[in-house]
Structure 1
Amino acid sequence: MTAPAPDEDRFVDLPAGPRLCHRVSGPDDGVPLLLIAGLGIDLTSWPQRMVDGFADRGFRVVRFDNRDVGRSSSIGTPPPGRLRQLLARPRPDAYDLADMAADTHGLLEHLGIDRVHLVGMSMGGMIAQTLAARHPDRVASLTSIFSTTGHRRVGQPARSTLVRMAKRPARTVEESVQRHLALLGHIGSPTFLPDDDLERAWAIGLWERGGGLRSRAGVPRQISAIHASGDRTAELRRITAPTLVVHGSVDRMVHPTGGRATVAAIPGSRHVEITGMGHHLAPGVVDQLVDLTTDLARSTGAPLDPAGAPR
């Protein structure tokens, strides 16, 4: 059987969970680094410039589709209704962030990675935080990007953002693209502008990888996972990995108070608030994020072998 090429979609059926789609980039003997994407977005949401930047710095970069997005499994439970979402009351059969962290742990097991540098954005940051708290021996460092603790008084979306998110799901690829560009115009940044051509191509790819209309129930179920997990502040205090918390000063999706609460909860963590950055990995901030994460990884001490074990 021919081995998959770098950056090719690969699949693993987890023993007690869904089927996950993932990609691996960078040198085979590189230091393991795992990227965890946010709400409703797939592994392609990590800019290629960012993936290449990490690979060029010697990382073996792993990224994957969370459950209910992209080419990973859709979960069979019904999505929460609109009222449940507005009241933040998940269905009794909802999965939570711990389940998604368990998926991530299962992927590391499959890949034979003992310890890894974690980078998560938004909901992916919440998943990374949960994994770092529950499996401290597996996490060499944690970078949490525009994420939060789950406490209801911090990190909340702006009301204008909630209004935009409350619209009915898109029914065509073009409608989905226009929704993405419009939302990005709202939660992005006038300082760090997006590349509209790249964003349009990404939105088309997201629709196609997720099966179009088939994926519409995934976002409500992922929102429900966040609600079902509640306030995780106490759990975050158990994180022992060196941690960097990055947030934008003009984030309308996760208010900057979410980043400030996260750094207050994680012992010894460092906070970087980037002036003018919104809720988007824009071309103008990618290199800075790669440098910050690389510096954190290098500050942790001994280099790691390809399985993530100390040399």
Structure 2
Amino acid sequence: MNMLKVNGIELAYDSYGSETDETVLLIAGLGTQMIRWTIPFCEMLAARGYRVIRFDNRDTGLSTHFSHHDTLDFETLARTLMSGQLPNIPYTLEDMSDDTIGLLDALGIAKAHIVGRSMGGMIAQLVASRYPARVLSLTSIMSTTGNPELPQTSPEVMALMTRPAPNPVKDEAGYIAHSVAFARRIAGTGYPFEENEYRSMIREEVQRAYDPGSIGRQIAAIAVSGDRRPQLAKVNVPSLVIHGVEDPMFAPACGKDTAQVITGAEFMLLEGMGHDLPTQLFETVVDGIVRTARSSVKDSI
């Protein structure tokens, strides 16, 4: 694990593969750390001939946290937005896309293939639309455009995601059980739910950094990000949109909308997949990322 000063903050990152190969930059999702891009996934991608970089977004993991800001109350946030006002938030998804480019700058990487999952997909979309000269290809996984007409996450799933969790310092078992229950709820039914692996990952995340307020701050950043379709319509790099048929967080229509807005984007709809990335689908997803990355080389010839 390495640290770099980026965009006025510190970002923690890992790198796999040869530094002379083209870079695939992996962006994690809401409230999760870079370890959600597992080492086997990163190594599988690196074995295809890429330098693979994963990193902790701001406010997660070992990167800079914004704990000095007040914890956001979800009901207050909703009321503020419904009144037409913008809440006072510490950062936006645009800031997080600037972090991504700042990391590339700090590493001396001119261009990269950008891959993001969930909130990371939103950040990846912004990177591709705001920094077209820095992006070789885009892969947006289990994400959405911000189109207000799309199906919304069910109140039941939102309640599970935002309900207070036990403090892991005082009740580690309770915290892990809470987190595993949510992971199980948003997972698809097409593949076995790997509870032991989830428990280990959640425990590792807690040991790396525990900040109960970060998920609220990131939800606020998503809430004010608005509709990205006008920006996505300008994206002109090879693009792939991957989505699960059983995704309860963002319905498949969200992935379809993303693919329809980006000119020439491929839409990969996966049976049995929810808002998760089962190990059984690693090869399928890696194949898609690599196929999209290689098409960027063909387009440049």
Q: Which of the five TM-score ranges fits, normalised by the shorter chain?
A: over 0.9
Q: Does 1:72 align with 2:63?
A: yes
Which of 2, 8, 11 is the equivalent residue of 2:3? 11
Which of 244, 258, 266 is the equivalent residue of 1:270? 266
Q: CA deviation at 1:155?
A: 5.2
The answer on whether the counterparts of 1:119 and 1:143 sit within 8 Å (CA) in structure 2 is: yes
Q: CA deviation at 1:302?
A: 5.6
Q: CA deviation at 1:93?
A: 3.6
Q: CA deviation at 1:88?
A: 6.9
Distance 1:51 1:254, change over 3 A: same
Q: Does 1:240 align with 2:236?
A: yes
Q: Does 1:115 align with 2:111?
A: yes
Q: Does 1:26 align with 2:22?
A: no
Q: Does 1:209 align with 2:200?
A: no
What residue number does 1:106 align with? 102
1:213-255 CA-partner distances (Å, limit 9, x unpaired): xx11110000000011111111111111110001001101111
> Gapped runs of 5+ residues in structure 2?
none
What residue number does 1:306 align with? none
Name the CA distance, whole Å, in 1 between partners of 2:124 and 2:235: 11
The answer on whether the counterparts of 2:27 and 2:117 sit within 8 Å (CA) in structure 1 is: yes
Q: CA deviation at 1:163?
A: 2.0
The answer on whether the counterparts of 1:150 and 1:233 sit within 8 Å (CA) in structure 2 is: yes
After TM superposition, the score normalised by the length of structure 1 is 0.90
Q: Taking CA–CA contacts closer than 8 Å with sequence separation of 6 or more, which of the two structures ends up with the larger relative contact order?
A: 1
Name the CA distance, whole Å, in 2 between partners of 1:95 and 1:102: 11
What residue number does 1:84 align with? 76
Q: CA deviation at 1:166?
A: 2.9
Name the CA distance, whole Å, in 2 between partners of 1:132 and 1:88: 30
Name the CA distance, whole Å, in 2 between partners of 1:88 and 1:56: 48
What residue number does 1:157 align with? 153
What residue number does 1:286 align with? 282
> Gapped runs of 5+ residues in structure 1?
1-8, 304-309
CA-atom RMSD, angstroms? 1.8
What residue number does 1:143 align with? 139
Alignment: residue pair count = 293
Name the CA distance, whole Å, in 2 between partners of 1:302 and 1:261: 26
Letter matched to residue 21 of structure 1? A
- SS for the counterpart of 1:130 is helix
Q: CA deviation at 1:261?
A: 1.1
Distance 1:155 1:145, change over 3 A: farther
Letter matched to residue 218 of structure 1? S
- SS for the counterpart of 1:219 is helix
The answer on whether the counterparts of 1:95 and 1:228 sit within 8 Å (CA) in structure 2 is: no
Between stretches 174-183 and 61-70, larger displacement belongs to 174-183
Name the CA distance, whole Å, in 2 between partners of 1:176 and 1:260: 35
Which of 292, 295, 298 is the equivalent residue of 1:296? 292
The answer on whether the counterparts of 2:23 and 2:52 sit within 8 Å (CA) in structure 1 is: yes
Matches within 5 A, 1:170-209: 170-172=166-168, 173-209=172-208
Name the CA distance, whole Å, in 1 between partners of 2:166 and 2:37: 22
Name the CA distance, whole Å, in 2 between partners of 1:258 and 1:112: 34
Letter matched to residue 237 of structure 1? A
- SS for the counterpart of 1:272 is strand
After TM superposition, the score normalised by the length of structure 2 is 0.93
- SS for the counterpart of 1:229 is coil
Name the CA distance, whole Å, in 1 between partners of 2:89 and 2:187: 34
Q: CA deviation at 1:72?
A: 0.5
1:151-179 CA-partner distances (Å, limit 9, x unpaired): 22225222321121231133123222112
The answer on whether the counterparts of 1:21 and 1:72 sit within 8 Å (CA) in structure 2 is: yes
